[in-house]
Structure 1
Amino acid sequence: MKRRDFLTNTAATSALIGLGGLGLNSCSGFNSRHITILHTNDVHSHIDPFPSSHSAYANLGGVARRATLVDNIRNENPNTLLFDAGDIFQGTPYFNFYGGELEFRLMSKLNYDAATIGNHDFDNGVDGLLAQVPHAKFELLSANYDFTNTVMEGFVKPYKIYMIDEIKIGVYGIGIALDGLVTKRLYKETKYLNPFEIALDMERKLKEEESCDLIVCLSHLGYDYDRPERPSDTQLAQSTYYTNLIIGGHTHTFLDKPDVRINKNGDSVLVNQVGAFGINLGRIDFYFDGQKNTSANGVSISV
């Protein structure tokens, strides 16, 4: 297991003060709370490790190895959540043969808490996605896909709230525009809603109405684009007020460390994405003092 520590220099530490007025690792008092968030994205049906002969990812990845890492971290800190940012399906014969059943069953075995929906998760249509829902023992979250008048209506939630060690964590999902990526016959009557408008509505509800201490977005928009008209995670971070962490997907971006962006309130937002194919596991640790002021630290783990 290779760990790449990030946010260790003074400049990066200062950039995170906006998370709650505290520097990194400063919550070491008796009343501190420690929440660990683990995440994957764009696994694309990669169940087995890459072969040792692979030109780019030799002997990396594999669900069994990820399970071991996750179990070790949960033993270290029981206050751990595990999320996925979409594109669970499509990429190996496992999907062609099982249609996503194996992916959902294994994620359930790993006790994922929630996942958002990526464009490739529609590759067998909304009917194919629905067929796999019984195998998912975790929440499917998407706030800006309106599944009204489709078979998926009622099976996807806009957000989910987790209460862990007296810390209230709100998590919402955001997806990319389907037109041009997915044929209409696959997503059928699914409506794509403006991701920025929906994100603002979700975070306001989670902060002001639900009084969440930490707000996380599971996004499949993509990290960043040269074309500003394409919604991205970096734009989303800068457009929000209360979201603390954006876990991204779609662009298969390998970030050496989480990006830090400044939101509308002048506070820091972490934006992270760990590439693709299950070869990395993202880890973000949040620390809360007695007044629930927040600081953060993390590592990227190569599987």
Structure 2
Amino acid sequence: MEELLMINRRDFIRTGGITAAATALSLNSFGSMAAGDVIKLTILHTNDVHSRIEPFPMDGSRNQGLGGTARRAALINNIRAKNQNVLLLDAGDIFQGTPYFNKFGGELEIKLMTAMGYDAATMGNHDFDNGLEGFKKQLPHASFPILCSNYNFSNTLLKGDTQPYKIFKKQGLKIGVFGIGIELKGLVEEKNYGDTVFIDPVVKANEIADLLKLELKCDLVICLSHLGYKYKNNKVSDQVLAKNNKNIDLIIGGHTHTFMKEPEDVTNLSGKITTINQVGFAGINLGRIDYYFERYKGKRIKTASPYLITNELDS
């Protein structure tokens, strides 16, 4: 029987990291990590970076001095140096928002993500802003896969350039990651997405998550979603998806630029927890969620809190 506990990461670190994990999992902390009884997985994530390469200018605005890819890269490198199993993911809208995109068409953004070692990303609506041709032109610069399960590109020039999901293996764990995109009609000019076929995101997400969890035996299933956190109407959102799935463990969201101070746990159709997280926009924050797995017994805990990207970074 899977068991999941949620702890604030900063409070968790203060109480002793692996000792606290082992205690929460009812294990003897001494030697539990070394023996492989507890495996730590660190998930880092961004969304809606919108071509923000440099920090916001010091102009008195609300976000002055925040963000910047150089600072994010330094923080990521610092975290990787201290943690064995790290995944770095993005939930879309990589493009559009600064003159860098206007000048280079997304090349710089993708090259920087490659340099930072992103493991996977999905597409947001603004990633279609230069059309399918413009997006395809940047793919040779990407060392990471673009995951899109509910956009059918079979009749477009992107056929074969994306994949619905990918499984990552970390210290014996299998982590399945897949992408879900928002409906493009009415949001993106038709000429920019051409014959792309949109598939119901809840239906497709359940199909892929069931495959990953039940057939491919993934220990954790992550959805990179560009649906948006929530809406006042009945539009499909991360909250709607969280309530209407059976096998998604974590939804890393985007599109609505929602700054979540901590992840939200939602009870899904299986009576288990689907967690939603989103970290604003423009690379101001780097999301982090740590999962601690107790091998063989199916128990795990998670800790989480975002990093604010400033000129005063800590880990």
TM-score, normalised to structure 1, is 0.91
Alignment of 1:248-267 (within 5 A): 248-267=253-272
Partner amino acid, structure 1, of 2:184: L
Query: Is the contact made by 2:285 and 2:307 (CA closer than 8 Å) also made in structure 1?
Result: yes
SS of equivalent residue, structure 2 residue 74:
helix
1:88-103, aligned counterparts within 5 Å? 88-103=94-109
Task: Tell me which amino acid in the other structure corresponds to 1:136.
Answer: A
Shift of 1:7: 7.1
- Tell which deviates more after alignment, 50-59 or 164-173: 50-59
From 161, 164, 168, the equivalent of 1:158 is: 164
Distance 2:222 2:274 in 1: 10
Equivalent pairs, count: 286
User: SS of 2:89's equivalent?
Assistant: strand
Amino acid at match of 2:182: I
**Other structure's SS at 1:271 match:** strand
Unmatched tracts of structure 2, length 5 or more: 1-6, 12-21, 310-315
Pairwise CA RMSD of aligned residues?
A: 1.6
- 8 Å CA contact 1:36–1:286 kept in 2: the answer is yes
Q: Is the 8 A contact 1:174 1:219 kept in 2?
A: yes
The answer to whether 1:218 aligns with 2:224 is yes
1:1-303 matches, within 5 Å, as 6=8, 28=29, 29-30=32-33, 31-228=37-234, 230-291=235-296, 292-303=298-309
Deviation at 1:78, TM superposition (A): 2.3
Quick one: which amino acid aligns to residue 178 of structure 2?
A: Y
CA-to-aligned-CA distance 1:123-173 (integer Å, 9 cap, x gap): 000010000000111110010000011110100000000000000000000
Distance, in Å, in 1 between the alignment partners of 2:8 and 2:199 is 34
Q: Distance in 2 between matches of 1:142 and 1:217?
A: 10
Distance 2:151 2:218 in 1: 23
Displacement of 1:243: 0.7
- Change in 2 beyond 3 A, CA 1:7/1:67: closer
Name the CA distance, whole Å, in 2 between partners of 1:7 and 1:270. Answer: 15
User: Could you tell me whether the CA contact under 8 Å between 1:24 and 1:297 is conserved in 2?
Assistant: no
Q: Say if 1:148 and 1:298 are closer, same or farther in 2 by CA, change over 3 A.
A: same
Q: Which consecutive residues of structure 1, in runs of 5 or more, have no partner in the other structure?
A: 10-21
User: What letter matches 1:82 in structure 2?
Assistant: L
Give 1:290 shift: 2.1
TM-score in terms of structure 2 length: 0.88
